[in-house]
Amino acid sequence: MDRFKPPVLRPLVWLGNSLKNLRDFPDGAKKLLGDELQLIQFGGMPRDAKPFKGVGSGVLEIALRYSSNAYRVVAAVQIGKRIYVLHAFQKKSKRGIETPQRDVDLIRRRYAEAQELANEEETTTTN
C-alpha cells in the first residue's frame, strides 16, 4: 500500500545572489518567504504565488507585502527534480505592479542557467 507515502522534499538550488538577497530581507519577510518556498518543496502552492509570465513554463513568483514594502522570490518549479530559485528582490518600482525590465532580464538568464543545470543533472543520473 503506497497510500501513505511520506512527502518528498525537493531540494532548492539558489542561482546567482538570490540566497544572499533573501538573507538581506527583514526577518519577518525572510520567515514568510522561506515558509512559502518550503511549501513548494513539498508540492504545495502558496497563496501568495502566481505564474511569472514571459520567461518559461513552471516559473512562479511569490509576492509578499511586508511592513509597507514589496518582496519577491521567483522560482522555476518544473525543471527536473529540483526547484531553482532564480531571483529574490525587493520591488521598488514606482510604475505600478510591473516587474522592472532589468529584473525580468536577470530572471530569463537564470532560467536558461537552470535549464542547463537540470540537463546536466539528468545526463549525470542516467549515465
* Cut 0.85: pTM above it: yes
Report which DSSP code applies to 97: T
* Residue pLDDT, tens place only, 77-91: 999 899 999 999 998
CB 50 within 8 A of CB 60: yes
What is the rounded end-to-end Cα distance, in angstroms, of the chain? 31
* Cell numbers standing for residue 13: 538550488
Residue 91's identity, in one-letter code, is: K
Domains of the chain: 12-126 (3.30.2310.20)
The gap from C-alpha 119 to its chain's centroid, in whole angstroms, comes to: 18
- Rounded Cα gap, residues 100 and 42, in angstroms: 30
* Residue pLDDT, tens place only, 52-109: 998 988 999 999 999 889 999 999 999 989 999 999 999 876 666 778 889 999 999 9
